[in-house]
Amino acid sequence: MVNVIFLGLVSFFADISAEMVYPIIPLYLTSVFGATPAIVGLIEGIAESAASLLKVFSGYFTDKYKKKKPIAFVGYASGLIYKVALVFANSWGGILGARIIDRIGKGIRTAPRDVMVSESSDSERAGTAFGIHKALDMAGSALGILMAYLLMKNSNGDFKYKQIFLLSIIPAVLSLLMFFKIKERREERVLKEREPFWNNVKKLDSQLKLYILVAFLFTLGNSSNAFLILRAKNVGFDDTTVILLYFIYNITASILAIPAGKRSDKVGRKRSLVAGYIVFALVYFGFALAYNKTFMVVLFIFYGVYTALTAGVERAFIAEVSPKDLKGTMLGLNSTVVGIALLPASAIAGLLWNLFGAEAPFIFGGCMSLAAAFILIAFMKSGKREIKLES
């Protein structure tokens, strides 16, 4: 588990850096550049989807060349480039370009990092391992958000955004330094002719195919978290205090990630995922009906509960049911499918907001989440070790 902790520290520092800027991006776009919710949705959708294909190819090359650590390092290094690009961006188009750089990096690093987490624990404790990683990841997010809040509170004028972008470079560098402590499992690369990718996909377990389809459906209603921030602002929070809500969400997810991972080891991935989707639906319906600040605080807490129930558990499930030599590819494929769905998801949310009001995208997202939960209940097998690989 030592390797898992250092991998978690990589994400811890990277997320301090990322979340120092992420919650202020929609505020920066709307306050400085006058962007509408539709433009914010378009930027987030393009940024998430433009790099989505890289995720499956990153996983594929991880499996093929057995070089997980260098590939992950390149992905995290792009986070440093992203912060520099933000400093020099002078339009919403520049912000879009910076976000694409950041998402490309995530597309490169996610699969090899998750494979290393999986290989650093035994199969009986996969949920716990991913829970530990997610806890450190979300703790970094929470700390980054708190730092953004303090910096926003004690700064004035538009230049405060640029100051935060510059300071976020420091934890990005610390994240890269953590790689020197990570030990990659050395695997001899066997030179053999690999079957075409889609031939391997056809042989996958039917339950894994089902889940990837469900993840796509769910993501269509799970638009960018930027809309949660805009909704909180719509209810009455100002640009500074709204960041505290995002802090509450991240610290809740961090605290609950390890218990949620351990629980999934005991009761099975299906129950945890279904519970997470139902909580998400209730939270999104709550965002649609939100009428005061206290209610909004409660909703952000339960949004953290949803993340703890699903984020690490999803990766543990995919890692344990994927063929050993396709583990990175499948983790990447899932991220690719989710990334592809994020463009229409954020675009739909922005259009629904503009056409029907702030409540509409959250009602839509809640309905899509309930549909995803129903499919899992009806068609996914139950039990802790119920999913077996097809021959």
Grade residue 389 by pLDDT with cuts at 50, 70 and 90. Answer: very low
When pLDDT is averaged across residues 19-48 and rounded to a whole number, the result is 80
Distance from C-alpha of 378 to C-alpha of 380, rounded to nearest angstrom: 6
Distance from C-alpha of 241 to C-alpha of 239, rounded to nearest angstrom: 6
CA terminus-to-terminus distance, the chain: 31
188-219: buried (b, 16+ CB within 10 Å) or exposed (e) per residue? Answer: eeeeeeeeeeeebbeebbebbeebbebbbebb
pLDDT score of 373: 94
Give residue for tokens 């990334």: 339
Question: Residues 186-214: pLDDT tens digits?
Answer: 655 544 455 555 555 566 667 788 888 99
pLDDT score of 382: 62
Contacts of 204 (CB under 8 A, 6+ apart): 322, 323, 326, 330, 390
Least confident of 110-119, 318-327, 353-362: 318-327
240: its two tokens? 């500074």
When pLDDT is averaged across residues 334-363 and rounded to a whole number, the result is 85
Distance from C-alpha of 327 to C-alpha of 153, rounded to nearest angstrom: 44
Q: Between residues 274 and 54, which one has the greater pLDDT?
A: 274
Q: Which domains does the chain have, with CATH numbers?
A: 2-183+199-379 (1.20.1250.20)
User: Minimal CA–CA distance to 265: which of 326, 320, 322?
Assistant: 320
CA atoms within 13 A on the CB side of 328: 28
Distance from C-alpha of 320 to C-alpha of 322, rounded to nearest angstrom: 6
Least confident of 146-150, 195-199, 304-308, 380-384: 195-199
Asked whether the beta carbons of 119 and 185 are under 8 A apart, the reply is yes
Q: Between residues 274 and 112, which one has the greater pLDDT?
A: 274
Least confident of 80-89, 101-110, 313-322: 313-322
Please state whether the predicted TM-score (pTM) of the whole model is above 0.85: no
Q: Between residues 218 and 43, which one has the greater pLDDT?
A: 218
Grade residue 71 by pLDDT with cuts at 50, 70 and 90. Answer: confident
Helices (H) and strands (E) in the chain, counts: 17, 0
Residue 169 CB coordination number (10 Å): 17
Distance from C-alpha of 101 to C-alpha of 108, rounded to nearest angstrom: 11
Q: Is the pLDDT of residue 252 over 90?
A: yes
Q: Between residues 191 and 374, which one has the greater pLDDT?
A: 374
pLDDT score of 153: 79
Grade residue 159 by pLDDT with cuts at 50, 70 and 90. Answer: low
Give the DSSP letter string of 255-280: HHHHHHHHHHHHH-HHHHHHHHHHHH
144: its two tokens? 């980054």
pLDDT score of 292: 86
Say if residue 241 is exposed, middle or buried (CB neighbours under 10 Å; 0-12, 13-18, 19+): middle
Q: Is the pLDDT of residue 388 over 50?
A: no
Asked whether the beta carbons of 24 and 246 are under 8 A apart, the reply is no
Distance from C-alpha of 311 to C-alpha of 277, rounded to nearest angstrom: 11
Q: Mean pLDDT over all residues of the chain?
A: 82
